[in-house]
Amino acid sequence: MFSSASAQEPKNTDPGTRLLDRDRSTLAFNLRVLDWACRKEVPALERLRYLCIVSSNLDEFFEIRVEPQRALEAGAPQVNHAAESFKALSSSVHALVARQYSLYNDELMPLFEKHGIRIISHGDRNPAQRRWVQQYFEREVRPLLLPVGLDPAHPFPLVANKSLNFIVRLAGADAFGRANEIAIVKVPRVLPRLIRLPDRVAGRGASFVALSSVIRGHLAALFPGRQVGQFSQFRVTRHSDLAVDEEDVKNLRTALRLGLQHRHYGQAVRLEVSAGCSEYLSQFLLKQFDLPGQALYRVQGPVNLGRLTQLIDLVDAPKLCFPPHIPCYPTQIAPGVSIFEQLKKGDILIHQPFESFDGVLDFLREAVYDPQVLAIRQTIYRTGSDSALMDLMREAVRRGKEVMVVVELKARFDEEANINWAEALEAIGAQVVYGVLGLKTHTKMLLITRREGRHLRRYGHLSTGNYNLRTARLYTDLSHLTADPALTADMADVFVHLAGQSRLPRLNKAWMAPFHLHRRLIQKIDAAGDSAAGGQPGRIVAKMNALTDEALVAALIRAGQKGASIDLIVRGACVLPARVPGFTDNIRVRSVIGRFLEHTRVFYFRCGEVEDLYLSSADWMNRNMMRRVELAWPVSDPAQRQRIVDECLVAYLHDGVDAWDMLPDGTYVRVTPIDRFAAYGAQAALVDRYTDADQSRRVKT
């Protein structure tokens, strides 16, 4: 399927001292996302969307990867390399944020104005607009605001993570004759961050006012009898990784629910203020949040760019967005024919979002309403708060099926939704378990047991992505439906292991973390290297979201130095330096950033004439290999395997539009096609392919 490099003498790998910094690589990924916001050929509102995605990514980076200042100063053992590396990375993050706001102010806002879309500041409003905004403030905003003047009886209030707030310095005396000069105004999350002006005062086009601008223009009304001097909006980001000692809790669900109540008030790690915030107020806030100067970000605009995604929904301008993508129904599923009967003839692959997740829903729906189906088992990692799939599981319970779900309560930022689903399913009689103590259950699988004559037969669904209908329209993933007895038996054994925590039997086909996935991957990588060293083809092509596990990196370097030809398609962080002379000459690293978020995990190995292809729920990170329950499973059918190679590997290796190649110093350069008229984008080509397939099927029917 792929060509192979010639063999060469192995060299000393010494990977530990030559790997790239993970956090710097994460920042490089966000620069590649930001590039989409900079492209003039991208529709204006989509450019804004990418800008907001970078802001959301940076929020999560600060919340998870940056340790609180207090822990750093204490030299706490849990402080990881990421926290230390971030100190050196701080100037680069500041530069990235400055680029974001420069793009927002200098390009996007003027571009929106050309299309009749304006966000009008307080100083630019005409008298009619000011009257309307004042009425809106008095009616909708002021009743929800409660200014807090600071004094010994009113200490600095608790400020929630990523919430909008104002700090105000007041002149004059308060009602009791005291000169308490600092006040805080917390802005409730229930208030919309953008408000559309009615047509009668908006003028031509669509005009909006930002909530922060509305409050800023009426701060004086909140402090009668005082003079408002210095003021600024501010936003604090807090460390938000839930830390629960699983060895010391009796009920993990209860402990996590209690932890969620405190997540919004963890230790501060970043402070954002308006660019014009005075030195006095900024230093006051830094002291309150116990933050060093490098944690302060002065921004030329709203302190939360991510909330501007509301503008995309508030504006009816299809020409400023991508054409709507409507995925086709899975091409390998015949509508109106039992999916169980189709699976008896062979496995089914669904390539999302080019094909619809509806195929998976129909598979489960058929099982729920089939009286011959006796049991349904499923893992739940991220389903979202509104899930048709979970509704089907509840219907299955009501219809008397034996329903068992493995709910991952520690799925980051989805903990509350998962706890709610677990409680709802338990309440109606489903068997709910929470996986293995100390591990996250990250594998995605659905197993159905059906009576057929005198025998019971299993049907399974394995996926590289989550059971989430929203992300299924935005993420590239592979769903694998199968009736393979060996593979479904492996799935059954894994479910028994997760529920009973009994010893895992030897699996037939699947590899499972944390038991043998890591070791088997290293063995496959080493085998490809040995094959190349022996003069036989040795080839590895792996697609994943991140590559940070040092043992896997070391194995890849060994294999490359033995002559194996290695292509890595890594969307995000990658610590392996590519094409370093005398070190990683045979290893190429590519990142593809497109309209859809790349999420498929596909691993191809060739040793001599033997080719193996695996799908997986796991990235090549230490946490996936050692601290999560993950599965990798082979695709054996030659036609299905070739389809995956063509669509998920070859297409991306030939992408000349959305691909970035890593240089030996760890930086990335966007691929420039030799012929711009023949430029090939993998995602766009797949959209066209499946659109054509769908139209062809419609014509035939």
Question: Looking at residue 272, which CATH number applies to its domain?
Answer: 3.30.1840.10
Q: Are residues 117 and 164 in the same domain?
A: yes
Residues 194, 196, 199: CA angle, nearest 5 degrees: 170
What pairing do the DSSP bridges indicate for beta strands 227-238 and 206-210?
Answer: unpaired
The percent of residues above 90 in pLDDT, for the chain, comes to 70
Answer yes or no: is pLDDT of 536 > 80: yes
Active site residue 325: no
Residue-wise pLDDT for 328-343, tens only, equals 999 999 999 999 999 9
Cα gap 429→316, rounded to integer Å: 45
Closest CA to 19 of 641, 454, 551, 495: 551
Answer yes or no: is pLDDT of 226 > 90: no
231 found inside a domain: yes
Q: Of 509, 526, 542, which marks where a domain is finished?
A: 509
Two structure tokens written together for 437: 């103590």
Q: Using an 8 Å Cβ cutoff, are 272 and 285 in contact? A: no
Task: Classify residue 51 by burial, with Cβ atoms within 10 Å: 0-12, 13-18, 19+.
Answer: buried
Residue-wise pLDDT for 97-138, tens only, equals 999 999 999 999 999 999 999 999 999 999 999 999 999 999
What is the pLDDT confidence band of residue 1, given thresholds at 50, 70 and 90?
low
Residue 385: count other Cβ atoms within 10 Å of its Cβ. Answer: 11
Cα gap 480→377, rounded to integer Å: 16
Answer yes or no: is pLDDT of 6 > 50: no
Q: Of 293, 320, 347, which marks where a domain is finished?
A: 320
Q: Are residues 313 and 406 in the same domain?
A: no
Cα gap 477→482, rounded to integer Å: 16
Closest CA to 59 of 157, 163, 188, 191: 163
Q: Are residues 421 and 553 in the same domain?
A: no
Q: Are residues 182 and 212 in the same domain?
A: yes
Two structure tokens written together for 3: 């060509």
Answer yes or no: is pLDDT of 675 > 90: no
Q: Using an 8 Å Cβ cutoff, are 594 and 588 in contact? A: no
Closest CA to 591 of 514, 495, 662: 662
Residue-wise pLDDT for 167-206, tens only, equals 999 987 776 667 788 999 999 999 999 999 999 999 888 9
Q: Tell whether omega for the bond before 514 is within 30 degrees of 0, i.e. cis.
A: yes
Q: Using an 8 Å Cβ cutoff, are 664 and 580 in contact? A: yes
325 found inside a domain: no
Two structure tokens written together for 479: 């769903």
Q: Are residues 411 and 525 in the same domain?
A: no
Answer yes or no: is pLDDT of 212 > 90: yes
Q: Are residues 424 and 396 in the same domain?
A: yes
Mean pLDDT check: name the lowest of 307-321, 527-541, 557-571.
Answer: 307-321
Eight-state DSSP code of residue 467: S
Q: Using an 8 Å Cβ cutoff, are 355 and 333 in contact? A: no
Q: Are residues 483 and 500 in the same domain?
A: yes
When pLDDT is averaged across residues 545-560 and rounded to a whole number, the result is: 97
69 found inside a domain: yes
- Express the helix, strand and coil content of the chain in percent, nearest 5 each: 40, 20, 35
Task: Classify residue 210 by burial, with Cβ atoms within 10 Å: 0-12, 13-18, 19+.
Answer: buried
Range of the domain at 216: 44-320
Two structure tokens written together for 291: 């933050």
Cα gap 56→68, rounded to integer Å: 19
Q: Are residues 443 and 520 in the same domain?
A: no
Residue 17: count other Cβ atoms within 10 Å of its Cβ. Answer: 5
Answer yes or no: is pLDDT of 256 > 80: no
Answer yes or no: is pLDDT of 432 > 70: yes
Q: Are residues 406 and 303 in the same domain?
A: no
Q: Using an 8 Å Cβ cutoff, are 435 and 408 in contact? A: yes
When pLDDT is averaged across residues 523-552 and rounded to a whole number, the result is: 97
Catalytic site residue from 218, 239, 351, 442: 442
Q: Are residues 173 and 290 in the same domain?
A: yes
Residue-wise pLDDT for 341-363, tens only, equals 999 999 999 999 999 999 999 99
Instruction: Identify the H or E element spanning 429.
Output: none
Answer yes or no: is pLDDT of 252 > 80: no
29 found inside a domain: no
28 found inside a domain: no
1 found inside a domain: no
Cα gap 622→319, rounded to integer Å: 44
pLDDT value at residue 254: 54
Answer yes or no: is pLDDT of 76 > 50: no
Cα gap 271→286, rounded to integer Å: 7
Residue 447's SS3 state is: strand
Answer yes or no: is pLDDT of 88 > 90: no
Question: Looking at residue 636, which CATH number applies to its domain?
Answer: 3.30.870.10
Q: Using an 8 Å Cβ cutoff, are 541 and 604 in contact? A: yes
Two structure tokens written together for 415: 């903990």
What is the pLDDT confidence band of residue 264, given thresholds at 50, 70 and 90?
low
Answer yes or no: is pLDDT of 217 > 90: yes
Q: Are residues 523 and 450 in the same domain?
A: no
2 found inside a domain: no
Cα gap 269→264, rounded to integer Å: 12
Mean pLDDT check: name the lowest of 151-165, 294-308, 420-434.
Answer: 420-434
What is the pLDDT confidence band of residue 679, given thresholds at 50, 70 and 90?
confident
User: Rounded mean pLDDT of the chain?
Assistant: 88
Q: Of 476, 509, 542, which marks where a domain is finished?
A: 509
pLDDT value at residue 11: 46
Tally of structural domains, the chain: 3
Residue-wise pLDDT for 507-532, tens only, equals 999 999 999 999 999 999 999 999 99
Two structure tokens written together for 310: 């509301």
Q: Are residues 522 and 604 in the same domain?
A: yes
36 found inside a domain: no
pTM of the model: 0.89
pLDDT value at residue 63: 87
Cα gap 274→268, rounded to integer Å: 18
Closest CA to 263 of 414, 371, 124: 414
